[in-house]
Structure 1
Amino acid sequence: MEYKKLGASDLEVSVVGLGTWAMGSDFYGKTEDSKSILTIQQAIDSGINLIDTAPAYGGGHSEEVVGKAIEGRRDDVIIATKCGAYRKGEEFVKSLKPELIRKQLEDSLTRLNVEVIDLYQIHWPDKETPLEDSVNELLKLKKEGKFKYLGISNFDEDLISEIIEMTDIVSLQPQYSLLSRDIEEDILPCCIENNIGVISYGSLGGGILTGKYNQKPVLGQDDKRDTFYPFYDNPYWDKTQSLINLLKEIAHKHEKPVPNVAINWIRQQQGVTTALVGAKTPKQAEQNAAAGGWKLSEDELEELSKASKNILG
């Protein structure tokens, strides 16, 4: 596994991280906690040290599962969680009110069973709350020793510029994959210029880039990923087939799993520190982690980029 410094922090994070949204058991179908715990532990055993979660994942259930999985292994992991979003029934509510941030952080510490969070991230912007009020509360919590470093997620370039005038941030977590490249125009250059580490989510396009679907899948009733990722519907689905075939060709040449190719394209992009990838089984976690041990050639990176742009237009 390769490791990189996350922005201006002293955190050395694995270039492949583990995303745990699925372990909330509320969006990617039902999951067994016992299997999720084994999956997290296998990820750690395979060299992954960045574990990303959030209160919004299963109403805190993902954090509870992570807490159980890292018991006795706290020194082996860098824990990243978030504030500013929570579940209210089927709805995701975005709020950065100072009093909510404090409660969310305290609840996260309890669920994770840790004394301090390594990376605390604003999950989503909140147009109703002045950003300065939210940041002031976060700085109080940081001074109290509740978390080490502040990161952001889903911020555009204007909001990034606004927050770095108020405080230091070490990371941005945006959606980024061969099927979602909007950040390349303004956001990624802004992060590079300001030494902000990029932690991509949706690195496998919600599962499409795993190459496991030979035809358009019918997702289970409890699997709602197609409401967040549009790639399961046309015109995306038909357009992605040529890209997926290319992923398979490159994977076959290297004798590697198909997801490794999509992961490595992301993690080898300038400015990207870590590609977050979800896993539901120990085998998936082990295979995903293996992407951190080899690289694509420059020609392969360019070929994938061109195929991707043909889809996105």
Structure 2
Amino acid sequence: MGDKVVDVPTIGGPQRRIGATGPLVGAIGLGCMGMSGDYYGAAEDECSTKVINAALDAGVTLIDTADMYGGGHNEDLVGRVLRTRRDDAVLATKFGIRRADGRRWNDSTPEYARQACEASLHRLGVDVIDLYYVHRLDGQTPIEETVGALADLVAEGKVRHIGLSEVSAANLRRAHAVHPIAAVQSEFSLWTRNVIDDGVLGTARELGISLVPYSPLGRGFLTGTVRSVDALPEGDFRRANPRFADGGLEANLPLLDHLHAIAAAHDATPGQIAIAWVLAQGEDIVPIPGTKRTDYLAQNIGASHVKLADDELALLDEAFSPDKVVGERYPAAIMPVTR
């Protein structure tokens, strides 16, 4: 696959804090999921290693992985990089999604939380995880029991801060009552605003919890480069995603018109405008766009230097209002359980 040699700019703007008392990080983090497995086509460890190092060099400090990305491969990959520069990163990983024998299921039991944490520490080659998320709730284990187990890991010095991914406002309150929650990780972008509509962002702000949006580029849609599902690699997750499959992509393409126009006015890419919109939603938001190429990393970081005017933000809000988006954000079989 290879990777272009590009100059990656340093990240712009002031650092942002994770949670009320958590670490300061660069305004944009790095999501590493696409570096393992075939979610977005094939990846190469050599290129991915270059991306992680280039991100750290540029002031990107929040590095996000999970135990289920590539069946542990992603944590191994991130861990190899951080062995020589652990102090440069705020390391986030997750547990709660399990796969075996062709099955996928969620497990947020206290027993699995401890087992998964020990395995992640080993793969990452670290003594402590800076931010440990419950990746998905299983819908059966009371969240108080899950967070209680994570609080024990904090007390033992194996985890510094606790996060929740894809959680409801009610469960966020219940969890925070057991132990302070530093971050909520949820999908959030111009065309996915469920954390606002469902009251999650408002509750997080009330409790002093940061939002860490994944897929701020709408799984690549908001870059304006995905024009046909047939052009996506075989095995690409988006081939079965309702917003892309069965005519979904074609139905959504007109949404990009205003995004392209604003990008042209700023001499920026559509993706940079999409990330700039997320950054403009509040200083308590740290998006983690993922990439496995340094040229895209440079573009993503460049978004931190783009400042959108109020009328541009309002225009984008209207252009991408949820009622205009065609398709659910996940196939029904893997839609996150937040209750």
1:142 matched to which residue of 2?
A: 154
Instruction: Say if 2:176 is the partner of 1:164.
Output: yes
Give the gaps of 5 or more residues in structure 1. Answer: none
> Within 5 A, what are the aligned runs for 1:45-124?
45-124=57-136
Q: Which amino acid aligns with 1:258?
A: P
Native 8 Å contact 1:29 1:220 kept in 2: yes
Deviation at 1:217, TM superposition (A): 4.1
Over the matched positions of the two proteins, sequence identity in percent amounts to 34
Deviation at 1:271, TM superposition (A): 6.4
Instruction: Say if 2:207 is the partner of 1:199.
Output: no
Native 8 Å contact 1:188 1:271 kept in 2: no
Native 8 Å contact 1:208 1:231 kept in 2: no
Native 8 Å contact 2:217 2:274 kept in 1: yes
TM-score, length-scaled by structure 2: 0.87
Instruction: Say if 2:284 is the partner of 1:269.
Output: no
1:126 matched to which residue of 2?
A: 138
The change in CA–CA distance for 1:26 and 1:89 in structure 2 (over 3 A counts) is: farther
Separation of aligned partners in 2, 1:99 and 1:169: 20
Q: What is the CA deviation profile of residues 106-144 of structure 1, one whole-angstrom value per residue up to 9, with x for unaligned ones?
A: 111111111111101111112222222222221111111
Native 8 Å contact 1:18 1:48 kept in 2: yes
Q: Return structure 1 stretches of 4+ with deviation > 6 angstroms.
A: none
Secondary structure (helix, strand or coil) at the match of 2:187 reads: coil
Separation of aligned partners in 1, 2:318 and 2:284: 19
Count of residue pairs the alignment pairs up: 312
Aligned partner of 2:315 among 300, 303, 312: 303
When the two chains are superposed, the root-mean-square deviation of aligned CA atoms in Å is 1.8
Aligned partner of 1:189 among 171, 192, 202: 202
Deviation at 1:238, TM superposition (A): 3.2
1:287 matched to which residue of 2?
A: 299
Q: Which amino acid aligns with 2:123?
A: R
Native 8 Å contact 1:17 1:274 kept in 2: yes
Q: Which amino acid aligns with 2:216?
A: S
Secondary structure (helix, strand or coil) at the match of 1:170 reads: strand
Q: What is the CA deviation profile of residues 138-182 of structure 1, one whole-angstrom value per residue up to 9, with x for unaligned ones?
A: 111111100111111000111112111211101100111111112
Native 8 Å contact 2:26 2:60 kept in 1: yes
Separation of aligned partners in 1, 2:96 and 2:260: 38
Q: What is the CA deviation profile of residues 270-308 of structure 1, one whole-angstrom value per residue up to 9, with x for unaligned ones?
A: 365211101011111122111122321111111111000
> Within 5 A, what are the aligned runs for 1:207-226?
207-226=220-239
2:56 matched to which residue of 1?
A: 44
Native 8 Å contact 1:46 1:290 kept in 2: no
Q: Which amino acid aligns with 2:244?
A: Y
